[in-house]
């Protein structure tokens, strides 16, 4: 599970670097979708993975996942404008609140975060290829 979180952080860092390079070519609607995508999945996957390792610290881990998702969404949104940053922040925060709940309900099932990471990679690839069209 820690490998999934490390892989997610590495993929997100690389994609944020690419999105930063392409921020002048990206439309505001696509930028908002990108901020919501990165913030939401970061909060969700972080929460699901860390609740598996520390199940008795539910409240603290929920806050950690919410802050991680919110920061990722806000940083991505700041590439474009303030409204996009606010949207990324709120979406990342909400998904970070849901991540530990889903992780606790899954009960250590590894396939769920793996499938979410595969979906995340596909959506990020779609967003990266959509930049030139926006």
CA angle 107, 112, 117 (to 5 degrees): 140
Rounded Cα–Cα distance for residues 113 and 109 (Å): 8
> Where in the chain are the domains?
2-133
pLDDT at 1: 84
81 token code pair = 């404008």
Percent of the chain past pLDDT 90, that is, above it, reads: 90
Q: Is the pLDDT of residue 117 over 90?
A: yes
Q: Is the pLDDT of residue 133 over 80?
A: no
């Amino acid at each position: 599970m820690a490998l999934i979180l490390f892989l997610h952080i590495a993929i997100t860092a690389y994609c944020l670097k690419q999105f930063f390079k392409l921020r002048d070519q990206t439309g505001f609607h696509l930028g908002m979708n990108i901020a919501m995508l990165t913030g939401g999945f970061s909060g969700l996957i972080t929460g699901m993975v860390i609740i598996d390792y520390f199940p008795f610290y539910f409240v603290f881990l929920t806050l950690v996942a919410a802050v991680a998702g919110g920061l990722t969404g806000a940083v991505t949104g700041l590439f474009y404008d303030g409204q996009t940053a606010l949207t990324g922040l709120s979406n990342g925060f909400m998904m970070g609140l849901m991540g530990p709940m889903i992780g606790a309900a899954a009960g250590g099932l590894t396939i769920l975060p793996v499938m979410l990471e595969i979906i995340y990679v596909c959506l990020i690839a779609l967003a990266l290829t959509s930049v030139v069209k926006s």
